């Protein structure tokens, strides 16, 4: 993971004018910073967390240790007599947000069986569907009734915000003492990577739950690839474009090229996007990807949505969707729309109507160019092979692409232990078992041996591939990597995969090899060298409350005006109306909150 050193020399008294973007546009104003919680520097909180001591065993744990039922010395198994333990205390309950395409009960997943064989820990899994999960979890936490012993996960990227929101309600157990005294494997990883300690430490000095880290050479730090149909280009005797102007000419050629996909129908689409997409890594909305070509790159990332449209520009937190480059991008996309180059379905808000779940699933190529998270989303292999990654296009005042306000520590507080849990040290030892065995972490994350992995002659876990490099199913009913993954492991929890594990314990994830190469073709390395992002730090309760009130409205304003501009054009009147609505919605407060958080993380916060 690329590390950046950001020097921020601004204090809260200098927030006016922070909205000045890359080109100097935007409105000023101060935020109600005085209403936010006063906290110390994050480094001070981290220093305290890394030296915190554990509160000691619970009454039940001491009783179980004395009875020889559990073992907390770091050796396995942790629960020595599972039947006797469960007869006396029951199973440790774990709530899990379940993915829709998992057909196997969680307790029957192969990795859950492996965990039990190794540790003696057999959870009582309480599954809730991902749809509506946040509402159900919030209701559960607000009532405080029937809480599980732990929350295995909260939905991707949601754990930090949730545990901080309830930090002052005695629901979640602080875990820094557990990490320091009972989790040597996790502590070693965090001590060697202080940025991760910072990202899991709340402003109150506590950690809650344990991190989910998935290092993949920076894979999640930029969006997935923009793909273009090379077969169509070849048929039209065109080269892969390298500039924005050349790309537009290719789209026009796709529009006018006739039956390029050979199905006898005039159904070719030059370009598809998904305006208003909320995907984790900023891959599907082409509008934001092109802003950098007009002078100031914007940013959006569903995995850290409160920081949408924010970047560090010359050391200042900047709301880039108010920059003049944003207006020029809107004018550019309006031109594309008027030329008939954008698929009309690009304006559908529902994911089920987007091209990612419709057009790219067909058995014939329909789209000339689109953005995606991974080329594996193209399910027909012949169609898949028609596409190549687009180089980073240069425009009138820069190049396309942006870096996500994200981290390879993708969740700070999974496996969050509730204060009603009678066996927190058992949970801590269990997580440290997963963290401490790279092969277990890898399989727990991406799928079990016999499903997504087989061992080669050197004992390295490899995804089985045929001579063409395509996935070979090991279990007939799971014919692709994704389905084999979700039906053999829980996926996200508190497991850790580090860059250094590749080619020692496992090959690089099969479904990401091409993704990473495509990202590099798109200009990943140049983008990451060019931009500074908002550091991932945990917010205070007051900050989160304020963001939850303001940020969704601000993002809705941005999305609504993009649709208006693309279809109807940009005028001085509607651009000024847009700026006015953002100001009235509290965009200054968002910038001020993030400036405070950035200052806090860099040691420049006002005491």
Q: What is the pTM of this model?
A: 0.86
DSSP state of 447: -
C-alpha–C-alpha distance, residues 211 and 445, integer Å: 13
Q: If 0-12 CB within 10 Å is exposed, 13-18 middle and 19+ buried, where does residue 299 land?
A: buried
Per-residue confidence (pLDDT) for residue 32, from 0 to 100: 31
Instruction: For residue 379, count other CB atoms closer than 10 A to its CB.
Output: 12
| Low-confidence residues of the chain: pLDDT under 70 | 1-21, 23-40, 603-607
Please give the pLDDT value at position 438. Answer: 98
d(CA 464, CA 361): 24
Torsion angle, CA of 407/208/597/297, rounded to 10 degrees?
Answer: 20
The predicted structure's pLDDT at residue 270 = 98
pLDDT value at residue 594: 95
Q: Looking at the DSSP assignment, which residues form a beta bridge with residue 70?
A: 79
Please answer whether residues 389 and 371 qualify as being in contact, where contact means their C-beta atoms are separated by less than 8 angstroms: no
Q: What was the pLDDT predicted at 603?
A: 60
CA 533 to chain centre: 14
| Residue 587, pLDDT score | 98
The pLDDT assigned to 153 comes to 94
Q: Looking at residue 28, what is its pLDDT?
A: 37
Q: What confidence score (pLDDT) does residue 417 get?
A: 98
């Amino acid at each position: 993971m690329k590390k950046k050193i950001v020097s921020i020399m601004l204090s809260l008294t200098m927030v006016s004018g922070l909205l000045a973007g890359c080109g100097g546009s935007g409105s000023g104003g101060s935020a109600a910073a005085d209403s936010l919680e006063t906290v110390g520097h994050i480094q001070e909180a981290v220093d305290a967390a890394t030296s915190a001591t554990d509160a000691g065993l619970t009454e039940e744990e001491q009783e179980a240790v004395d009875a020889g039922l559990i073992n907390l010395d770091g050796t396995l198994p942790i629960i020595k007599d599972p039947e006797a333990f469960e007869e006396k205390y029951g199973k440790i309950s774990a709530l899990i947000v379940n993915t829709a395409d998992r057909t196997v009960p969680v307790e029957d997943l192969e990795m859950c069986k492996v965990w039990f064989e190794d540790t003696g820990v057999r959870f009582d899994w309480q599954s809730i569907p991902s749809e509506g999960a946040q509402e159900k979890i919030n209701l559960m936490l607000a009532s405080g009734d029937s809480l599980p012993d732990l929350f295995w996960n909260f939905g991707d990227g949601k754990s930090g915000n949730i545990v901080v929101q309830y930090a002052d309600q005695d629901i979640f157990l602080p875990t820094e003492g557990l990490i320091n005294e009972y989790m040597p494997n996790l502590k070693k990883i965090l001590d060697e990577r202080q940025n991760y300690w910072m990202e899991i430490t709340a402003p109150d000095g506590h950690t809650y739950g344990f991190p989910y880290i998935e290092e993949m050479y920076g894979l999640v730090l930029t969006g997935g690839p923009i793909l273009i149909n090379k077969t169509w280009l070849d048929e039209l005797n065109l080269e892969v474009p390298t500039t924005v102007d050349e790309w537009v000419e290719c789209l026009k050629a796709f529009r006018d090229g006739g039956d390029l996909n050979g199905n006898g129908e005039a159904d070719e689409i030059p370009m598809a996007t998904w305006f208003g997409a909320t995907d984790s890594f900023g891959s599907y909305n082409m509008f934001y990807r092109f802003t950098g070509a007009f002078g100031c790159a914007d940013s959006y990332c569903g995995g850290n949505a409160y920081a949408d449209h924010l970047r560090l520009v010359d050391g200042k937190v900047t709301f880039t969707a108010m920059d003049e480059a944003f207006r020029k991008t809107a004018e550019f996309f309006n031109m594309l729309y008027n030329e008939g180059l954008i698929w009309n379905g690009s304006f559908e808000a529902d994911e089920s109507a987007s091209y990612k779940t419709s057009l790219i699933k067909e058995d014939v190529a329909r789209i000339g160019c689109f953005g995606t998270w991974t080329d594996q989303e193209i399910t027909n292999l012949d169609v898949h092979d028609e596409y190549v990654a687009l180089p980073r296009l240069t425009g009138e005042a820069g190049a396309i692409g942006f870096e996500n306000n994200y981290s390879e520590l993708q969740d700070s507080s999974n496996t969050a232990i509730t204060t009603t849990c009678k066996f927190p040290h058992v949970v801590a030892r269990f997580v440290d078992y997963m963290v401490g065995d790279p092969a277990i972490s890898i399989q727990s994350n991406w799928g079990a041996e016999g499903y997504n992995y087989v061992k080669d002659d050197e004992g390295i876990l490899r995804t089985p591939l045929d001579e063409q490099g395509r996935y070979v199913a090991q279990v007939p009913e799971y014919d692709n990597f994704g389905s084999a993954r979700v039906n053999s492991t829980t996926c996200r929890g508190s497991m850790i995969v580090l860059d250094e594990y590749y080619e020692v314990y496992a090959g690089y994830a099969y479904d990401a090899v091409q993704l990473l190469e495509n990202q590099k073709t798109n200009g990943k390395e140049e983008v990451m060298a060019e931009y500074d992002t908002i550091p991932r730090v945990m917010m205070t309760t007051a900050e989160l409350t304020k963001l939850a009130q303001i940020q969704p409205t601000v993002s809705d304003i941005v999305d609504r005006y993009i649709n208006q501009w693309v279809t109807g054009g940009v005028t001085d009147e509607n651009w000024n109306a847009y700026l006015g609505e953002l100001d009235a919605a509290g965009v200054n407060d968002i910038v001020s909150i993030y400036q405070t958080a950035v200052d806090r993380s860099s040691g420049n916060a006002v005491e």
